[in-house]
Chain A
Amino acid sequence: MTNSDLVLSVSHVTSGYSEGGFLSKRARREILHDVTFDVHHGEILGLVGESGTGKTTLARTILGMVKPDAGTVTHYTKRPQMIFQDPYSSLNPAYTVAWILEEPLRIFGKYDAPERKRRVADMLARVELPEECLRAKPEELSGGQRQRVSIATALIQRPRFLIADEPVSALDVTIQAQILKLLKELRDEFDLSYLFISHDLNVVYQLCDRVLVMKSGAVVEQGTVDDIFDHPKNEYTKQLLAAAE
C-alpha cells in the first residue's frame, strides 16, 4: 500500500493529560495506550467504544490539541477539520451564520469578498439550508440546522479529512438520518475521508466502511464493518454488539 492512498497514519500513540498546576505537583494521567491505525483515502472509519475510553482524546491528539507522549501522527492532507457533538457550542454565538461561514475563508485569505460570499452561498445551499439562515445567529437555529452550519463551516476550506465526534448523538432520530445521509453524500462530492466517532453501533453500521473498537484507551479490534459486525473476534466487541441489539 502506498502513502498516496493514506490520509492519516497514527502509529503507537500514547497520550494523556497533565493534572495539577503552578503550585501543585503535576501528574500525568494516561488515556491512550499504543494506538495504531490508518485512515485510507475515501473511507469512513468508525471509532466505537463506550464513553470514557479516550475516543475524544484520540481525536484531539490527531488534531494536535493534545501532544502525544509517544508515537507519531502523520497527516497526508492539509487542514483537517472537526465536527463536534454539541451543535450548541460549536458556533460562535456572537456572530451571524454568514460571518461564521465566511470566517474560514477570511483566515485562509485566498479569495476576495465577492468570491467569499459566492462560496458561502454555494456551501449553504449544499447543506440544504435556506438563504434566510445567513442573517440568523446560531441561537435562532434548531439543533439540526446548527449541525448543518457546522458541517458547512468545516468544509468551506475544502479539507480532505474530517473528524466527526458524535455529530448526530445530540439530535432527534429523524434529523440524525438526514445528517448521516448528508455526510455520506458530501464524502463522495468533496472526495473526503472521515474518522467517525460514535457510541451508537447502528449509526456506525449504516455509515462506515471500517470500524475501530476501543476499550480503556487501546484499540482491541479493527476491521471492515461486515467482519466486525458478523464475526467479532474480541470479547469486548461481542459485548458491545450484544448490548446494541
Chain B
Amino acid sequence: MNRNKKGYLRAGLILTCVLFALILLGFFWTPYDPTAMSGSEKFLGPSLRHIMGTDNFGRDIFSRVLKGAGLTAVIALSTVAIGAVCGTIVGALTGYFGGKVDAVLMRFNDAMTAFPSMLLALVLISVLGSGKYNVILALGIVFTPSFARVTRSAYASLRDANYVKSARLMGAGRARILFVHLLPNTMQVLLPALTIGFNNAVLAEASMSYLGIGVTPPDASLGYMLSEAQSMIASAPWYAVGTGLMIVLLIFGVGLIGEGLQRRNGGQRYA
C-alpha cells in the first residue's frame, strides 16, 4: 500500500474525528446558549467573541452550528444504521438464496430506486408527519434499497466459495453462514457504502429541513438553520456561510474516508 492510498483515509479520519469531537462537545457545552437572544448583539459579524457571528436575534451562530450539527449527525447515523441493517438483511437473503424471492424483492428494490428518493421521503413524511424521528424513519426506509443492492451483489459473489461449502458440510446453520462466515467478507463493499450513505443522509436531511418537511422547532438541524439563514442572507451572510461550511466539512471528511477505503480495496472489491 503506498502513501497516496493511505493519505485519503488518514486525512478523512483526522477531519471527521475533529468534527465529531466538536459535535460531541456541543452536546454538553457550547460557548453560548444557542437559543439565548440578545437585543444588543444582533447581526454581529465574525469576531473573537462570536467566531461565526450572530443572527437577527443576537444568537451565537457557532453555538447553534454545533448543536445543529449534533442533530444532523444523529439523524444521519440513525438513518444509515436503519438502512444498513435492513438493507444487509435483504441483500444477504436475496444474494445468498437467489431464486424467486430474489427476483421479486430485487424488482421491488429497482422500483424504489427508480423513484426519486426525495419524493419518496416526502410521501413518507406526509403520511408519518414531520419531526426528527419521522425523518429518521423515512430516510432509513428510502436508504434501504441502496444497501440491499450492494450487499446482495457481495453475497451473490461469495455464496459459492469453497469455505461456504465447507461450513455447510460441518453443519453450520444458514444464519451462521450469512452473518458470521460471510458478513465480514462483505465489509470491503459495505464500509464504503456506509460512508456514501452517511453523506447522502446528511444532504437529504438538510434538503428536507430546508424545504420545511424535516425537523421542526425547537429542534434545529443544519438544514433547518440553512433555511433560517436564507431569510437574512443580506444582513447576516455569515450565518449561511458558517452552517454551510459545517455541512461541507462533514461530508468532505466522511467522503475522504470512503474514497480511502475504496482505494485500499483496489481492483479486488469482492475478493
Residues of A within 8 A of B (CB): 21-23, 63, 65, 79-82, 84, 86, 89-95, 100, 103-104, 107-108, 150, 153-154, 157
Contact = CB atoms under 8 A, between A and B. Distances in A.
A108 B171 contact: yes
Interface in B159-175: 161-163, 165-172
28 contacts: A22-B103, A65-B165, A79-B169, A79-B171, A80-B169, A81-B169, A82-B165, A82-B166, A82-B169, A84-B162, A84-B166, A86-B162, A89-B161, A90-B162, A91-B163, A92-B167, A92-B181, A92-B185, A94-B185, A94-B187, A95-B184, A103-B167, A103-B172, A107-B167, A107-B171, A107-B176, A108-B170, A108-B171
B166 A154 contact: yes
A63 B168 CA distance: 10
A81 B162 contact: no
A93 B162 CA distance: 11
Nearest to A63: B169
A154 B165 CA distance: 11
A103 B167 CA distance: 8
Interface residues of B, number: 20
Contacts of A65: 165, 168
A92 B162 CA distance: 9
Interface in B93-124: 99-100, 103
Nearest to A84: B162
Interface string B173-191: 0001000010011010000
Contacts of B184: 94-95
B271 interface: yes
**Could you tell me the dominant secondary structure of chain B's interface residues?**
helix
Nearest to B183: A94
A21 B162 contact: no
Given A79-B169, A79-B170, 5 more contacts: A89-B163, A94-B187, A103-B167, A107-B172, A157-B170
Interface of B: 99-100, 103, 161-163, 165-172, 176, 181, 184-185, 187, 271
A75 to B, nearest CB: 12
B198 to A, nearest CB: 23
B170 A22 contact: no
Contacts of A80: 169
A22 B162 contact: no
Contacts of B165: 65, 82, 84
A21 B168 CA distance: 24
A244 B36 CA distance: 90
Report the 9 A-B pairs with minimum CB-CB distance, sorted nearest first: A94-B184, A90-B162, A22-B103, A84-B162, A92-B163, A104-B170, A89-B162, A94-B185, A107-B172
Contacts of A157: 170
A132 to B, nearest CB: 22
Contacts of A81: 166, 169-170
Contacts of A104: 170
A93 B181 CA distance: 10
Interface centre among B165, B166, B171, B172 (most CB of A within 10 A): B166
A79 B169 CA distance: 7
Nearest to B161: A89
A93 B170 contact: no
Contacts of B163: 89-92, 100
A104 B169 CA distance: 9
Given A22-B100, A153-B166, A93 B172 contact: no
Nearest to A80: B169
A21 B156 CA distance: 15
